[in-house]
Structure 1
Amino acid sequence: MFPKNCWYVACTPDEFAEKPLGRQICGEQIAFYRDNNGKVAAVQDFCPHRGAPLSLGYIEDGQLVCGYHGLKMGRDGKTVSMPKQRVGGFPCVKSYPVEERYGFVWVWTGDASLANADDIPHLEWAVSDEWAYGGGLYHINCDYKLMIDNLMDLTHETYVHSTSIGQKEIDEAPVKTRVVDGEVVTSRFMDNVIAPPFWAANLRTKGLPDDQPVDRWQVCRFSLPSHVLIDVGVALAGHGGKDAPADKRVNSIVVDFITPETETSHWYFWGMARNFKPEDKELTDAIRTGQGGIFAEDLEMLERQQANLLLFPEYDLLKLDIDAGGVQARRMIDKLEKEEQQSRIPLESVSA
C-alpha cells in the first residue's frame, strides 16, 4: 500500500513530447499526453472498448486516440467518438488531477476532490536564475521505502560509493535526526577532512584548492509522500562550514523524487541543483553524468536487498541510530496511509 491523496512526480514533459506515455504509479495504470490547449492530461490507460492501453495510440485534435480501433478519449475520461459507433453509453475511465510545474509533471492518484495544486512543494532552485539543475530517471525494482532508507542514511556512501563521494569520516561523524515542521531532518557534519573525488572536482571547478582540509556537511530532508532533498557541500576548513561565505564553499541540493510503481518497484527521479556557475551547461552535463553514475551504484544493492527481503520474510531488520531518518520517514508514511484507509471506511461500517 502507499498513500494516494498526495502529489507524486509522474514524469518529465519530454517523455510524452512525441507520443502518449503509459506509466504505472501507485498501482494505477495512467496515460499522459497534451490536449489541444497544450495542457497535460492524465487518464486511466484503458480503452473502454476492448481494454487496450490508450498509451499505445496517438494524439489527434488534442484527444487521445486508441491505437486499436480508433476510439477517441477526452481528458475527462469520457469517450468523444469512435468510427461508425454511437458512444453515448460508453463507460468513463478514470481521469487524474495533473500539474506541470518545475520541469516535472505531478499527478494525484487518490480522491480527485481533495487535490489542491497549492500543496505541490515550492522548489526555489527550479525557478531561480541563480541555480542550475540536471537530472535523470531510473526504474528500480525495489520497494520505494528502501530508497528512502538509503537516502536518509548516507553511511552507505563509504562502501557503495567509495571511489566518488565516500570517505571513512562519514562513518565516524555523529548523526542527528529530528522532525521539524512536518519534515524528517537527518544531519551529519565532518570537520577538517579531505574532500573525496567528486567534491574535489567541484572545488577545482569553482577555482578553490582541492588539496586543503574542508568542512563537509549532509543535511537530508524527507517530506511526504516520498520526497528527499539533501543539502550537501564542502567549505575550506575554518570558514564556517555550511555557513561559510560563497567564495569559500561549494554546495548543491541533491534532488530525489521517489514515486511508487508497485509494492516492489518505483520510479526514481534524481538530480542535482547547484548555485555556482549556473550558466555553464557543460558543467551541468558533467555533473549529471557523474551523479548518474553514483546513483547507478545503488541500483544493484537495492534490487538485491529487495530480493533478499522477499526470500527471508521471517527476519526482523535491525534499527540502529543511523537508521533513525528512514524509521521516522516510514512512520509518517504509515500514519498517512492509516488516515486514508480510515477515511474510506463507510459510515455504515463505523456505526455497526
Structure 2
Amino acid sequence: MVLLLALALFGAACTSGDDEGSDDATESSDSGDEATPDDEAAAADEGSEEDVAAATGAEGSTLQAVQDAGVLRCGVNGQLNGFSLNEGGEYSGLDVDYCRGVAAAILGDPDAVEYVDLTAETRFTALQSGEVDVLIRNGTWSAARDGELGLDWTVTAYYDGQGMLVNDDDPAQSVADMDGYLICVQTGTTTELNLETYFANLGISYEPVNVVDEAAVTENFSSGACDAYTTDRSGLASFAATYTGGEIRILEDVMSKEPLGPATREGDEDFFDVVQWVVFATFQAEEFGIDSTNVASFDAGDNADIARFLGQEEGQTVGTGLGFPDEEWAVRVIEAIGNYQEIFDRNIVPIGLDEGLNQLWTEGGLHYPPPYR
C-alpha cells in the first residue's frame, strides 16, 4: 500500500511538470517574431495610453479636461472649402462651425478653439492618441471604423456620397465610360475601397494615382498625371470652387453612402453626448424656427418643448444631465453658429451644392432630432 501511494504521488508530480512545460512552450510560440493583428492593436493601445490619459484628465473625461484647459482642440481638414478651410489662420466652414458650437456650449466662448489640421492618414490616430479632443472632419462613419478604431461617431451632420470629377472637355458622361482612366484618390480613405468596388461591378479597369491631400490632387490633376479625381461629392465641389487649372465638371454618378459627422473616443460617454447634442440642437432650432437673430429674445409662449430647449423651464435638469454646465447651452450654440439652415447657407451653398438629404425630416430630409425632454 505504501509503495502504491508513493508511485501515485510520483506520477502526479510528473504530470504537473509536463503541464508547466507545455505552458512554457505555448508562451514561447506566442512570442515569436510574427505579430498578430491583435498584438499590433494592443501595442498601439499601450503606446497611446499615456497620451490619452493626459488628454482626458485623471477621471478619463475629455469633457472635464476641456473645461479645465479652457480650450477645445478640434481636428479638422484645413483645406476643404465649405467645411474647414484655413486661410492665413482664419478658419471657416461647416465643420469649423460645429467646433465653435461645442466650445460655446461647454466653455461659453465659441472662439476658445485650437484647430489642428489633419490629413486622411493622420486624422484617426490624432484622436486615438489624445492629440485632439474631437474630430470634426470629413471622415466616413463605417462599420469597420466603428468597430476597430476605438472611436464613436455622433449623429451625421452631413449626408454625402462619393463622386467623380473630370475635365470639362472629357468625353466621359458617366463612370461607365472611364475604362482605363488614371484616377487621383486619397490614401487611407474609404474612397479607395469604394472606387475598386464600383469599377469591378461595372467590369472596367482603372489606374489609381495615390495622393495624400487636396494640394497634391491639384498638382496631379492640373499636370495631367491623372484623368479624373474621386472623393466625396462635397470634396469635389470644394475642389471645383477653388481650382484654377481649367474648366471641370462633376459626373452625376453617386458611388457610395458617406455619412459625415463628429467622432469622439470610445468610452467617453459624457463628451460624446455633449458633441452629439450640439449637432442635434442645430436641427432642433431650425425645426422650431429659432435662428441666430432671434434666439436671445425668442418667446416660447405656451410651448413647453421650446421653453425646455431654451432653458426656460423652471427646475429643468435636462442639459446638466447630458453634461452641459447649465440649461442655456443651446442658446449659446445658436447665437454662435445659427441653426442648420444658416450653417448650410453660409458654407455649402457658395460651393454649389444643394441640400438633398441634408434637410429636416419634415421637408423630406434625414435630419431628425430626438425630443429634448
Shared fold, TM over 0.5: no
Task: Select the structure that is richer in strand.
Answer: 1
Select the structure of larger CA radius of gyration.
2
TM range (shorter): under 0.3
